[in-house]
């Protein structure tokens, strides 16, 4: 496990390991969307990644960084979202075990996703205190290693490989936009930009109803995420010290977007590109939609972070 | 315009023209779907084609086959579906005009798609007689050339370029499955298989509730499509003499599928592959789903013919 901010070599090492099992996801574009917004947009399709989100990168790399005895004891995390599924799949692929702590109230579809990959679920109350206690209990019982979804430099190095792949193919981007929740993907993107494409400006896209990262960067200290209200269910969490430091020193800015723009962007991507992305991914296009003059005539990469959506509950049908 | 069954050279010529504007669509696969069905499936993603369906191939090639004076007078067709949108876009890209005859009752989304590409809409009553009369009226008024969606060898040569692309990349397929409605795509697929990959078996997939092609091939004469009942809105039409002859002489068989299997397949493709396909495309996977023993251990190409779906009306929400 890495104990400091990942270096250029750390990210290259992560990429060498991750490519064993991860998809090298394509960069797609839509001429219709480009002409709508007056810029050239390249979409990095992490919705096509294993387990449907970029999270597989960090999770798989973490598993691969464990010692044989740690691997045997397994890994744990408290999450009901994409990180949980990614960790479960990574454990399965590494002949290890995953113990996932999630609230009893988590949607069935998320429980099923984690179970499909063979993980064991431990239920807790739907609050942070109960989650943490349950994880501690699981660790005490099993000796499993906690793999935090973003407060972990090894995970950040894994997420950085997404932007590394982008910069191997795209040499002249003006901007790269990543969603920001806990900041793992955005931190990794900042680091890869710094090492591999220093002229590109890195932007974080965040829901207005969960704008703690925006306020944290503005004010110079971490604001907690209190009662976030957004359909971007992957962006509810707050920065940690590690991600705050990297983002503060390397990101150009955080752009906040309304849920209405997110829904409009999501629908546009579905209709025009015929690909399925989740709200937390579509927010990168929403950032352009709400700031068209800033991006006019530019080349912009949007990281479509994931595609895990409950098809029975689409935002335009509710 | 071609006056006989397209030859190998005709299809290669069509491919040379079509590649100017059409996307070379990717072949995707899903290890989860492969292990579910015990075979290796390659999906040819014509849902990513211009205007969202393979129809762009035949429509664009038809426009490119017109004389300058014909181009100036424009093209017409009676259709409210993917062919209409493809023809409208092809006319726009060829500096021509498209006059689309569609019933007043056509969904707004289809009218909008055609208008977006700059075509002029002429409304008729929702029956075949009124459609044909209105098209004749349009031709008398404008001198436009009728581009039939499949009763046209030039269109068939265009549709054949889809399978040509497949066989350039896939050398060892056992089966290729194409949906069958009027038979344009299936005919083109048969011809490309014959010329470029003679060992592959070509299968048509058709809804049980619109199984006129199945009955036509079985009985040796064309059955009309009477009151078809299926969610595959692109597969309601019947074979014509041209497509019947090609399919009869070259296809291995027609497999019919229930709408329930189509919906299940469609949802599986959306959830597992994160791509949007319409029911008429998902039927190719439904054919495997309903005949798993036949395809066990085989390499199968499924042509995902299109991705135009009304996102407000998904089959699993109704």
B2 assigned to some structural domain = no
Going residue by residue through chain B (318 aa), what tens digit of pLDDT does each one get? 899 999 999 999 999 999 999 999 999 999 999 999 999 999 999 999 999 999 999 999 999 999 999 999 999 998 878 999 999 999 999 999 999 999 888 878 788 889 989 999 999 988 888 989 999 999 999 999 999 999 999 999 999 999 999 999 999 999 999 999 999 999 999 999 999 999 999 999 999 999 999 999 999 999 999 999 999 999 999 999 999 999 999 999 999 999 999 999 999 999 999 999 999 999 999 999 999 999 999 999 999 999 999 999 899 976
CB contact under 8 A, A267 and B307: no
Whether residue A33 is found in the same domain as residue A62:
no
Whether residue B266 is found in the same domain as residue B309:
yes
A155 assigned to some structural domain = no
Whether residue A72 is found in the same domain as residue A182:
no
Most A CBs within 10 Å, among B274, B278, B310, B318, to test the A interface: B274
Closest CA to A81 of A188, A208, A236: A236
A225 assigned to some structural domain = yes
A154 assigned to some structural domain = no
- Asked which of A104, A123, A146 is the last residue of a domain, the reply is A146
Count of structural domains, chain B: 2
Structure tokens at A118: 């063979």
Whether residue A167 is found in the same domain as residue A302:
yes
Q: At what angle do helices B108-116 and B82-93 cross, to 10 degrees?
A: 10
Closest CA to B239 of B259, B211, B258, B262: B211
Whether residue A296 is found in the same domain as residue A262:
yes
Contact in structure between A193 and A250 (CB atoms under 8 Å): yes
B212 assigned to some structural domain = yes
Residues of A in contact with B26 (CB under 8 A): 26
The residue range of the domain holding B60 is 56-146
Residues of A in contact with B307 (CB under 8 A): 274
CB contact under 8 A, B277 and A275: no
Whether residue A18 is found in the same domain as residue A118:
no
Q: What is the pLDDT of residue B127?
A: 84
Q: How far is B276 from chain A (nearest CA, A)?
A: 5
Alpha-carbon distances of A249 from A11, A134, B59, B205, rounded to whole Å: 18, 35, 53, 57
Can you give the C-alpha Rg of chain B in angstroms? 18
Whether residue B174 is found in the same domain as residue B283:
yes
- In A147-278, alpha helices (H): 153-169, 184-196, 212-219, 241-250, 259-273
Q: How far is B278 from chain A (nearest CA, A)?
A: 10
Q: What is the pLDDT of residue B317?
A: 78
Q: How far is B144 from chain A (nearest CA, A)?
A: 28
Whether residue B172 is found in the same domain as residue B284:
yes
Chain B: residue whose CA lies nearest to A308: B271
How many whole angstroms separate alpha carbon A91 and alpha carbon A110? 17
B122 assigned to some structural domain = yes
Whether residue B169 is found in the same domain as residue B100:
no
Name the stretches of chain A with pLDDT < 50.
none
How many whole angstroms separate alpha carbon A253 and alpha carbon A246? 12
Whether residue B88 is found in the same domain as residue B191:
no
- CATH classification at residue B171: 3.40.50.1100
- Asked which of A93, A111, A146 is the last residue of a domain, the reply is A146
- Asked which of A98, A117, A146 is the last residue of a domain, the reply is A146
How many whole angstroms separate alpha carbon A195 and alpha carbon A92? 32
Whether residue B19 is found in the same domain as residue B168:
yes
Q: In what order do the strands lie in the sheet with B40-45?
A: B27-28, B40-45, B299-304, B175-179, B201-207, B253-257
Chain A: residue whose CA lies nearest to B270: A276
Whether residue A190 is found in the same domain as residue A44:
yes
A13 assigned to some structural domain = yes
How many whole angstroms separate alpha carbon A33 and alpha carbon A21? 32
Q: What is the pLDDT of residue B318?
A: 60
Q: What is the pLDDT of residue A10?
A: 98
B1 assigned to some structural domain = no
């Amino acid at each position: 496990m890495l104990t400091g901010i990942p270096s250029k070599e750390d990210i290259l090492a992560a990429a060498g390991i991750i490519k064993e099992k991860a998809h090298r996801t394509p960069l797609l574009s839509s001429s219709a969307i480009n002409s709508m917004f007056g810029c050239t947009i390249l979409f990095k399709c992490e919705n096509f990644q294993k387990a449907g989100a970029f999270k597989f990168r960090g999770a798989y790399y973490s598993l691969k960084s464990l010692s044989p005895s740690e691997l045997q004891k397994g890994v744990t995390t408290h999450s009901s979202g994409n990180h949980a599924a990614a960790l479960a799949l990574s454990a399965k692929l590494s002949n290890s075990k995953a113990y996932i702590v999630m609230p009893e109230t988590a949607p069935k579809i998320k429980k099923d996703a984690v179970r499909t990959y063979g993980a064991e679920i431990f239920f807790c109350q739907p609050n942070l205190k109960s989650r943490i206690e349950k994880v501690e209990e699981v660790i005490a019982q099993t000796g499993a290693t906690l793999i935090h979804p973003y407060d972990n430099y090894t995970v950040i190095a894994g997420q950085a490989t997404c932007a590394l792949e982008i910069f191997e193919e795209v040499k002249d981007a003006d901007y790269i936009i990543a969603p920001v929740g806990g900041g793992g993907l955005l931190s990794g993107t900042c680091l890869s930009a710094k090492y591999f494409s220093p002229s590109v400006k890195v932007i974080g896209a965040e829901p207005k109803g969960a704008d703690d990262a925006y306020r944290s960067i503005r004010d110079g200290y971490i604001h907690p995420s209190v009662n976030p209200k957004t359909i971007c269910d992957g962006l509810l969490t707050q920065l940690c010290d590690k991600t705050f430091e990297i983002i503060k020193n390397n990101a150009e800015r955080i752009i906040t977007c309304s849920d209405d723009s997110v829904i409009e962007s999501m629908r546009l991507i579905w209709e025009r590109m015929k690909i399925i992305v989740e709200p937390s991914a579509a927010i990168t296009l929403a950032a352009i939609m709400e700031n068209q003059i800033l991006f006019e005539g530019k080349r912009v990469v949007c990281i479509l972070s994931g595609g895990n959506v409950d098809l029975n509950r689409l935002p335009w049908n509710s």
